[in-house]
Amino acid sequence: MDVIGKWTGHAASQLQDALRMTNLAFADRLGVAERTVAGWHSKPGIVPRPEMQAALDTLYERADALVRSRFMEALRPAVSAQALRVAIAIVRRGSDVLLVCRRGDASLSWQFPAGMVKPGRTPAVVAVEETHAETGVRCAVRQHLGTRIHPVTGVVADYQLAEYLMGEATNRDDRENDAVAWVPIADLTRFIAADKIYPPILEVLA
């Protein structure tokens, strides 16, 4: 088994993602306040207290092999300064979720709003700004859903759950997008195949 020398907010968040847990569920498992877990997401360089280091060690040691594998795989992109990172916004408005229809090579595909995270920027901010730039919708990030190597593009994909604040959904980038739409969450897999959606997205929207 791999040994974690020192837990940071980033490593703890990646363990949470590997366990497929919400902030609340992860906090309950560790016996801490939900705001503590949220703090690890907002301050990835923070080093938890020694007793929390021990609690995270225990949780990791008790995890099954699949969880540990997901965790170690998720940590690898963090050490690559050249890895391309994309912030993906899952914007919820009541029972609907916001999608954009991308133009591709003679094809169209529905996706969540997204944008490249440049050095010095944070995924949460990029997710909000790109959503507005592409669709005219203003939103606020409520939860970090996780990070993975995207199975199709190979970039580091960072998923942010956001709530709708205001604005009409319109196509403001007709060079890249063919359409913008609010889609009923119950119909989401009719637009994007379930096996292509990051599992925590389906869980949090269920």
- The predicted model gives 90-100 an average pLDDT of 96
The pLDDT assigned to 59 comes to 94
The pLDDT assigned to 149 comes to 85
DSSP sequence for the chain: ----SS--HHHHHHHHHHTT--HHHHHHHHTS-HHHHHHHHH-TT----HHHHHHHHHHHHHS-HHHHHHHHHHHGGGG-TT--EEEEEEEEETTEEEEEEEE-SS-EEEE--EEE--TT--HHHHHHHHHHHHHS-EEEEEEEEEEEE-TTT-SEEEEEEEEEEE-----S-TTTEEEEEEEEGGGHHHHS-GGGS-HHHHHHH-
The pLDDT assigned to 112 comes to 96
- The predicted model gives 37-55 an average pLDDT of 89
More confident site: 197 or 107: 197
The pLDDT assigned to 77 comes to 54
Q: Where in the chain is the domain with CATH 3.90.79.10?
A: 85-205
The pLDDT assigned to 154 comes to 78
Could you name the CATH architecture of 85-205? Alpha-Beta Complex (3.90)
- State if pTM tops 0.75: no
Q: What digits encode the pLDDT tens for the residues 136-148?
A: 999 999 999 999 8
Q: What is the mean pLDDT of the chain?
A: 88
**pLDDT score of 80 more than 50:** no
The pLDDT assigned to 78 comes to 46
